[in-house]
A and B are shown apart, each in its own frame.
Chain A
Amino acid sequence: MHLDLQLITSGLAIGSVYGSIALGLVLIYRSTGILNFAQGEMATFSTYIGWSFVVSVGMPYWVGFLLAVLAAFLLGAVVERVAIRPVQNQPHLTVVIVTLGLFLLFNALSLKFWHSDVRPFRSPFPSGSVHVLGTYISWVSIGIFGVSLISMAFVGIVFRFTKVGLAMRAVTSNPMASALMGISNGRILSLGWGLSAAVGAIAGMLAANRLLLDPNMMQGVLLYAFAAAVIGGMTSPVGAVIGGLVMGVTNALVSSVSWIGSDLSLAATFIVLVLILLVRPQGLFGRQIEVRV
């Protein structure tokens, strides 16, 4: 195992992509108790939208990027409204089936509109490297890491410091009481789905350069993201982000071990996950709020 900076930074870059998807999973899970299996596929679909804007239409990269993020936001909000809200009071398994159905739906839509051939999606970042502490770190890694971190910080700021964020925390904490405060719970949950989808779309577009764009691109990512969310304690947004980074770096490091290699790295990474959970079953950031009655 080489503990070199280059490996760690490339692990952090892909880890920030896992973290973004994990953040979306956690935002939805903590407010509704729903595991959104379609989180990754919605991101892929939005990435294709971005690809069409940039490559087919020929828009400047960041214009297409922002439009795709906007489209993803609307998509998330609409999915909540038409697919989730009608079943949200149904038994848990029903809701799981619906999000699995959405997974299949978005996968099929990507396939239908953009076919299965792998498409390169050029990176918006320079191709060279920067010389730091005796090694070379690629601009692409720095760019992916930086942009995901900015998008996740944006979500954090919305949550902490805005009125809408306060309402989101209220709906999560006590939906009956929040309705009695005049909050439209449905609208707030829609917003939450939109925000999660937007962060997912950013992750998808950043990952598309590393992973190449194809309809199944985010499936591996989703697996890592679930693991990241679990490490983070399932209900902690900060935990999800850190969990993602832990998964990314662990994965980069174990796949550099010659007898593990990239074939077994997924399995090895999950062994690390299990070890972490053996020590802290509630995850790194899982905690229970004390409530006196």
Chain B
Amino acid sequence: MLELRDIVVRYGPVVAVDRVSIRVEEQQVVALLGANGAGKTTVLKAISGLLPCASGDIAWGGGVISKLPPHRIVRAGICQVPEGREVFAGLSVYDNLRLGAYLRRNRHAVRSDIDRMYEYFPVLAERRDQAAGTLSGGEQQMLVIARALMSSPAMLLLDEPSLGLAPLVVQQVFSILRRICDDMRLSVLLVEQDAETALSIASYAYVLEAGRVVVEGSSVAMQGDESLRRSYLGY
């Protein structure tokens, strides 16, 4: 279980995340929603250790991880797919996937996992020797998801996987994600602006506004509450 307890994250004097508490149970998919600039990416960066928490702490699997550097957090089983498809542009698709498994020692298992990713995302198999920077946006998004899964994480942090993708591709990516979460028994914290799609896959959701959690509740409750949807989720 991942638990953020009253975390505060600042950029210099600017408070971007203000006393946020979030829980993700084992094998649960939780959505983190909110408009541009609400602080969603900042929350994920704090979990991954890319930004320090000014106060509060983050617990994971019985320990506190909020003081660890990013590579130790990956080692602890939390892997992030960052916003904006951060591929290794000059490296091949295959090398990108290998880097996802950087911390793993069992070469045999890594190789079979790469094959598994090629099954989930056949287009990556076709392009395995192509430089990642030359893939289309949708293909890059699939690559960064597959790359994160190569670390065989217990928890996946996804930052706006739908951004800039055609609706059809979004559906495709999400249905594969759904399958993978079940197969790999993943816990997921999913950041999205597209609330409707996110709620269709998550069981619980938080809504951030100006760095604070303003609403939280089960997906079913949110989907059923029209006035809440109108005022916070924009659909």
Contacts and interface: CB of A to CB of B under 8 A. Distances in A.
Contacts of A174: 86-89
Interface residues of B, number: 32
A180 interface: yes
B95 interface: yes
A34 to B, nearest CB: 19
B39 interface: no
Interface string B99-111: 1101100000000
A177 interface: yes
A114 to B, nearest CB: 40
A177 B88 contact: yes
Contact of A292 (B80, B86, B136): B136
B99 A181 contact: yes
B99 A178 contact: yes
Interface centre among A167, A173, A183 (most CB of B within 10 A): A173
A3 interface: no
A207 to B, nearest CB: 33
B88 A183 contact: no
Interface centre among A170, A177, A289 (most CB of B within 10 A): A177
A181 B103 CA distance: 8
* Interface SS of A by simple majority: helix
Contacts of B140: 292
B229 interface: no
B75 interface: yes
Nearest to A176: B86
A119 interface: no
B202 to A, nearest CB: 22
Interface stretch (B17-25, B127-135, B182-190): B127-135
Contact of B90 (A173, A179, A183): A173
A167 B71 CA distance: 13
A181 B74 contact: yes
A182 B136 contact: no
Contact of A182 (B74, B86, B91): B74
A179 B70 contact: yes
A4 interface: no
A181 B131 contact: no
A291 interface: yes
Nearest to B45: A176
A80 to B, nearest CB: 17
B68 to A, nearest CB: 12
Contact of B89 (A166, A179, A182, A289): A289
A180 B79 CA distance: 7
Contact of B99 (A167, A176, A185): A167
B133 A167 contact: no
B137 A292 contact: yes
A179 B102 CA distance: 11
B50 A179 contact: yes
Nearest to B136: A292
A169 interface: yes
A185 B106 CA distance: 22
Nearest to A167: B102
Nearest to A173: B88
A129 interface: no
A195 to B, nearest CB: 19
Interface centre among A166, A173, A174, A182 (most CB of B within 10 A): A182
Contacts of B135: 292
Interface centre among B48, B71, B147 (most CB of A within 10 A): B71
A189 to B, nearest CB: 13
B102 A181 contact: yes
Contacts of B48: 180
A170 B74 contact: no
Contacts of A170: 88, 91, 99
Contact of A166 (B71, B98, B136): B98
Contact of A173 (B89, B102, B134, B151): B89
Contacts of B147: 181
Given A174-B86, A176-B82, A183-B71, 10 more contacts: A167-B99, A169-B88, A169-B95, A173-B88, A174-B88, A177-B86, A180-B80, A181-B103, A184-B71, A293-B137
28 contacts: A163-B102, A166-B91, A169-B90, A169-B91, A170-B91, A170-B99, A173-B90, A174-B86, A174-B89, A176-B82, A176-B86, A177-B82, A177-B86, A178-B99, A179-B71, A180-B70, A180-B79, A180-B86, A180-B148, A181-B99, A182-B74, A182-B103, A289-B89, A289-B90, A292-B133, A292-B135, A292-B137, A293-B137
Interface of B: 48, 50, 69-71, 74-75, 79-80, 82, 86-91, 95, 98-100, 102-103, 131, 133-137, 140, 147-148, 151
Interface of A: 163, 166-167, 169-170, 173-174, 176-185, 289-293
Listed from nearest, the 3 A-B pairs whose CB atoms lie closest are: A182-B74, A179-B70, A177-B86
